[in-house]
Amino acid sequence: MDWWEWSAEAFDEARRRDVPIFLSIGYSACHWCHVMAHESFEDQGIAEYLNANFVSIKVDREERPDIDSVYMDVTVAMTGHGGWPMTVILDHDARPFYAGTYFPPTPRHGMPSFPQLLAAITDSWTQRRDEVLAAGQRIITAINERTTPVPEDGPPDAVDLSAAVAAAERDFDAAQGGFGGAPKFPPSMLLEFLLRESARTEDAFALAMAERTLNAMARGGLFDQLGGGFARYSVDADWVVPHFEKMLYDNALLLRVYAHWWRLTGSAVAERVVRQTAGFLLREMRTPEGAFASALDADSEGVEGLFYAWSPAQLVEVLGADDGAWAAGLLSVTESGTFEHGLSTLQLRDEPEDLQRWEQVRSALFEARAQRVRPGRDDKVVAAWNGLVIAALAEAGALFGEPDWIEAALAAADLLLAVHLGAHHGDRLCRTSRDGRAGANDGVLDDYGSVAEGFLALYQVSGADEWLVLAGMLLDIAIQHFADGDGGFFDTADDAPALVRRPRDAADNAEPSGWFATANACITFAALTGIGEYREIAERALGAAKMLAQRSPRAAGWGLAGASALLAGPVEIAVIGTLADPRATNLHQVALMSVSPGAVTALAVAGEESSVPLLRDRPAVDQLVTAYVCHGFVCQRPTTSASELAQLVSTTKE
């Protein structure tokens, strides 16, 4: 295959040869992308036909989410569904006139073969060009007429959030946890909202839905019971069989929401998942430069799930007869298999009665599995996803007393500063890097929102002012270059290379939307600095969450979580001391344990003037480490008592 990058040169070549563009969009960990590549793109005859009759462009959706967004909208509009690999045929002005996803090399299940499709497209291009071009223009016109309106009446209020919890309940699977039927994806952002609402309003059912889902995901095959970390989704409603690729964004979001579950309830399951997922991230996803890689493939040796699945005989081979049989019962490994080819995914439906035996078994199986051929790793570093993992590791490291996790978050942040920030021009972010070298693509909105979120978490954990300053700089760029003038945001900057449509979407998907990520970071930044403009920007942007939640709370989870923080204050906690002082460390820890939605924490050295507004004019009491609990910079009386601070931050609700 003669693949081109998305570039003006590729379109110029198509014009010169007078052939259409064949656009294939996928990503490294996509199983069916690998299947289509092996079946078709590596086939000599198909490759020769494509090279002769098309200019073929390959796009990594993780590097160019803007291109993916535009043509995914097209594919869904034309076919009623989307997915990857995405196949789109374009004219010389990038207007699409055919779209689909996977196509087999031979006719199958009523689908035309890929060669048949290509031949029909070539015939249409050469024989009915005017019809083709007109169809492409109609599609673009229709897509551009779709808008994301932002209601004028502000963010969701308490009634709206209560209605969103009720809407989630209608979609809730009470038997197996999660929302909707198969396939089931981890609803990370919605779970964060439910935990926040249960803390804010003591809504028992919001907590019950979150806990049922978090327990079910942790105990099923979605969670790697040996090595930690979550797969992308479950193909069944019972969380038994995952689609085995592991994505950085899923594990960052889930690490954080399980840490928040533990903070709220003290759940032992939550602690286990947090510790094992953090271990997975540090062990398997860190790059030599200190950032975090994008994904692990589902396949090894060309077989999906082969690295993770087991048979009873394999357990016996590693553990011996007694422990092998015990482990098979504990981990739901059956003779017929729960997966494919007589193999089973590992589940931990019940807590082992003999924890010491389980740890020995788990360690032995983990070491044996390490000898298998590992799934491939996509070493690409995505700015937004590293922002999410920075926030998760910094916060979890502080909550669980794990300084190595915080150090890993700091190292990733340093890599973003050294490689991604200013790589192309000014103080702008680039989207991706690899091997410590910046990629060619500019950052999109979620890079700015999620990296700002990560930096704000680092500030609250470390007390180092520079992270707050950098977060504000990123938010200013997002506001200046991505705002749409109607209270929302575009996904691309105003000076980004033009596409047939400038993407703009508030809805969360597998990760928080850039729209809601930026709004949430603005809420935190406003609470720490007292600069009301950032709160006003967030309030207006979160109007989209009210509209989206009426259709599907899962599409607005991050926005609803932000609205919950607005209703709770958010609470502002200033600690006057230094982390070198154990008393300050204690008060700081109590502050970080606040379950009030979106609560922020600032740390100052007593007797020194701080540049952080929340810390100004907050003197120490009797030269002791002191904490202030505030709303909108109006503070209650200061306290030097950790127990009193714990009571103040735990009872601060709407």
pLDDT tens for 546-596 read 989 988 999 999 999 999 999 999 999 999 987 778 888 899 999 999 999
Where does the pLDDT of residue 149 fall: very low under 50, low under 70, confident under 90, or very high at 90 and above? low
Q: 343-359, pLDDT tens digit by residue?
A: 999 999 999 999 999 99
What pairs with residue 270 in β-bridges?
none
Report the top-level CATH class of 158-173+264-292+378-568.
Answer: mainly alpha
Q: Give the domain ranges of the chain.
A: 3-145, 158-173+264-292+378-568, 308-371, 572-650
pLDDT tens-digit series, residues 80-117:
888 899 999 999 999 999 998 888 888 887 778 999 99
pLDDT tens digits, 428-471: 999 999 999 999 999 999 999 999 999 999 999 999 999 999 99
Phi, psi of 293 (to 5 degrees): -70, 165
Q: What is the pLDDT of residue 426?
A: 82
- Over 70: is that where the pLDDT of 427 sits? yes
d(CA 112, CA 99): 13
Neighbours of 113 (CB within 10 A): 16
CATH number at 572-650? 3.40.30
Tell me the per-residue pLDDT of 355-389, one tens digit each, with 9 for 90 and over: 999 999 999 999 999 999 999 999 999 999 999 99
CB atoms within 10 A of CB 552: 18
The answer to whether residues 227 and 348 touch, using CB atoms and an 8 Å cutoff, is: no
What element of type H or E holds 482?
helix 465-482
User: Do the first three CATH levels of 3-145 and 572-650 match, i.e. the same topology?
Assistant: yes
How far, in Å, CA of 274 to CA of 392, rounded?
Answer: 10
Which CATH fold would you assign to the domain 3-145? Glutaredoxin (3.40.30)
157 in Cβ contact with 197 (< 8 Å): no
Helix (H) or strand (E) holding 118: helix 114-127
Q: State pLDDT tens for residues 1-37.
A: 899 999 999 999 999 999 999 999 999 888 888 889 9
Percent of the chain with pLDDT over 70: 98
* CA atoms within a 13 Å half-sphere pointing along the CA-CB vector of 57: 27
Q: Is the pLDDT of residue 46 over 90?
A: yes
Q: How far apart are CA 422 and CA 622, in angstroms?
A: 46
Question: Does position 652 have pLDDT exceeding 50, yes or no?
Answer: no
- Return d(Cα 275, Cα 218) in angstroms, integer: 12
Which of 289, 137, 305 lies closest to 234, judged by CA? 305
pLDDT in tens, 48-59: 999 999 999 999
Question: What is the C-alpha separation between 632 and 117, in angstroms, rounded?
Answer: 61
pLDDT, position 653: 44
Instruction: Return the closest-CA partner of residue 278 out of 305, 248, 302, 307.
Output: 248
